[in-house]
Structure 1
Amino acid sequence: MMITDMAGLLLLLLVLALAWWGWGARPAQMRGALPPGPRPLPLLGNLLQLQSGRLDRALMELSRRWGSAFTVRLGPRPAAVLCGYAALRDALVLQADAFSGRGAMAVFDRFTRGNGIVFSNGPRWRALRNFALGALKQLGLGTRTIEEHVLEEATCLLREFQATVGTPFDPRRLLGNAVSNVICSVVFGKRYGYGGPEFLRLLDLFDDNFRIMSSGRAEMYNIFPSLLDWLPGPHHRIFRNFAELRVFISEQIQRHQQTRQPGEPRDFIDCFLDQMDTEQQDPESHFQEETLVMTTHNLFFGVSETTSTTLRYGLLILLKYPEAAAKVQAEVDAVVGRARAPRLEDRVRLPYIIAVLHEIQRFISVLPLGLPHALTRDAHLHGHFLPKGTFVIPLLVPAHRDPTQFKDPDCFNPTNFLDDKGEFQSNDAFMPFAPGKRMCLGAGLARSEIFLFFTAILQRFCLLPVGNPANMDLTPHCTGLGHVPPAFRLCLVAG
Structure 2
Amino acid sequence: LAMWLLFLLCLLLLALVLQGRGLKGSQGRLPPGPMPLPLLGNLLQLGPSGLDKRLMELSRRFGSVFTVRLGPQPFVVLSGSSALREALLLQADTSAVEVAWPPLIAAPWAKVRAGIVFSNGHLWHTLRTFTVGALKKLGLGTRSIEERIREEAAALVQELAVTKEVPFNPLRHIRNAVANVICSVVFGERYTYEDPDFRTLLDLLNDNFQILSSQWGQMYNIFPSLLDWIPGPHHRIFSNFKKLQAFISEEIQKHKERRQPEEPRNFIDFFLDQMEKEKQDPRTHFYLETLVMTTHNLFFGGTETTSTTIHYGLLILLKYPNIAGKMQEEIDSMVGRARPPCLEDRDRLPYTNAVIHEIQRFISVVPMGLPHILTQDTHFRGHFLTKGTNIIPLLISAHQDPTQFKDPENFNPNNFLDDEGAFQNNEAFMPFALGKRICLGAGLARMEIFLFLTTILQHFTLCAVKRPEEIDLSPKSTGLGNVSPPYELRLKPR
The SS at the match of 2:116 is: helix
Match of 1:310 in 2: 309
Match of 1:85 in 2: 81
2:384 equivalent to 1:385: yes
The answer to whether the Cα contact below 8 Å between 2:399 and 2:428 also exists between their aligned partners in 1 is: yes
2:428 equivalent to 1:435: no
Residue of structure 2 aligned with 1:72, choices 55, 68, 71: 68
2:28 aligned partner, one-letter code: G
1:105-116 equivalences in 2 (<5 Å): 105-106=104-105, 110=109, 112-116=111-115
The SS at the match of 2:193 is: coil
Change in CA separation of 1:369 and 1:5 when aligned onto 2, cut-off 3 Å:
closer
Match of 2:124 in 1: 125
**TM-superposed deviation, 1:278:** 1.0
2:246 equivalent to 1:250: no
1:50-449 equivalences in 2 (<5 Å): 50-97=46-93, 98=96, 99-106=98-105, 110=109, 112-449=111-448
Which region of structure 1 is more displaced relative to structure 2, 39-48 or 255-264?
Answer: 39-48
Change in CA separation of 1:281 and 1:174 when aligned onto 2, cut-off 3 Å:
same
Distance 2:78 2:354 in 1: 27
Match of 1:33 in 2: 29
The SS at the match of 1:195 is: coil
Distance 1:344 1:34 in 2: 46
The answer to whether the Cα contact below 8 Å between 2:211 and 2:234 also exists between their aligned partners in 1 is: yes
**TM-superposed deviation, 1:96:** 1.8
Structure 2 unaligned segments of length 5 or more: list them: none
Q: C-alpha offsets along residues 242-299 of structure 1, whole Å, 9 cap, x if unaligned? A: 0100100111111111111111111111111111111111111111100111100111
Distance 2:237 2:347 in 1: 42
1:433 aligned partner, one-letter code: F
The answer to whether the Cα contact below 8 Å between 1:374 and 1:392 also exists between their aligned partners in 2 is: yes
1:476-495 equivalences in 2 (<5 Å): 476-495=475-494
Change in CA separation of 1:22 and 1:174 when aligned onto 2, cut-off 3 Å:
farther
**TM-superposed deviation, 1:204:** 0.4
**TM-superposed deviation, 1:43:** 2.5
Distance 2:286 2:14 in 1: 39
Distance 1:169 1:206 in 2: 21
How many residues of Structure 1 are paired with residues of Structure 2 in the alignment? 491
Distance 1:240 1:416 in 2: 43
Structure 1 unaligned segments of length 5 or more: list them: none
Q: C-alpha offsets along residues 53-112 of structure 1, whole Å, 9 cap, x if unaligned? A: 211011111111100010001111110000110110010001224123222343995264
Q: C-alpha offsets along residues 337-395 of structure 1, whole Å, 9 cap, x if unaligned? A: 01000000111111001000000000010000001011111112111111111110000
The answer to whether the Cα contact below 8 Å between 1:46 and 1:73 also exists between their aligned partners in 2 is: yes
Match of 2:474 in 1: 475
**TM-superposed deviation, 1:20:** 5.0
Q: C-alpha offsets along residues 19-57 of structure 1, whole Å, 9 cap, x if unaligned? A: 658637x6x4x3321111111112311111112221101
Change in CA separation of 1:407 and 1:7 when aligned onto 2, cut-off 3 Å:
closer
Distance 1:124 1:272 in 2: 14
Distance 2:307 2:269 in 1: 26
The SS at the match of 1:227 is: helix
Change in CA separation of 1:6 and 1:82 when aligned onto 2, cut-off 3 Å:
closer
Distance 1:427 1:364 in 2: 16
The answer to whether the Cα contact below 8 Å between 1:168 and 1:491 also exists between their aligned partners in 2 is: yes
Provide TM-score, normalisation by structure 1: 0.96
**TM-superposed deviation, 1:18:** 8.2
The answer to whether the Cα contact below 8 Å between 1:92 and 1:435 also exists between their aligned partners in 2 is: yes
Change in CA separation of 1:14 and 1:286 when aligned onto 2, cut-off 3 Å:
farther
Distance 1:111 1:465 in 2: 45
2:367 aligned partner, one-letter code: P
The answer to whether the Cα contact below 8 Å between 2:11 and 2:39 also exists between their aligned partners in 1 is: no
Q: C-alpha offsets along residues 380-428 of structure 1, whole Å, 9 cap, x if unaligned? A: 2111111111110000111111111112211111011001110001100
The answer to whether the Cα contact below 8 Å between 1:476 and 1:484 also exists between their aligned partners in 2 is: yes
The answer to whether the Cα contact below 8 Å between 2:22 and 2:37 also exists between their aligned partners in 1 is: no
Distance 2:207 2:185 in 1: 23
Which region of structure 1 is more displaced relative to structure 2, 91-100 or 448-457?
Answer: 91-100
Distance 1:473 1:215 in 2: 19
1:343 aligned partner, one-letter code: C
The SS at the match of 1:73 is: strand
The SS at the match of 1:106 is: coil
2:441 aligned partner, one-letter code: G
**TM-superposed deviation, 1:457:** 0.2
Distance 2:11 2:303 in 1: 36
Distance 1:396 1:200 in 2: 31
Q: C-alpha offsets along residues 279-338 of structure 1, whole Å, 9 cap, x if unaligned? A: 111111111100111100111101110000000000000000000000100000000001
The SS at the match of 1:226 is: helix
Change in CA separation of 1:192 and 1:17 when aligned onto 2, cut-off 3 Å:
farther
Provide TM-score, normalisation by structure 2: 0.96
Distance 1:289 1:367 in 2: 29
The SS at the match of 2:109 is: helix
1:491 aligned partner, one-letter code: R
**TM-superposed deviation, 1:485:** 1.0
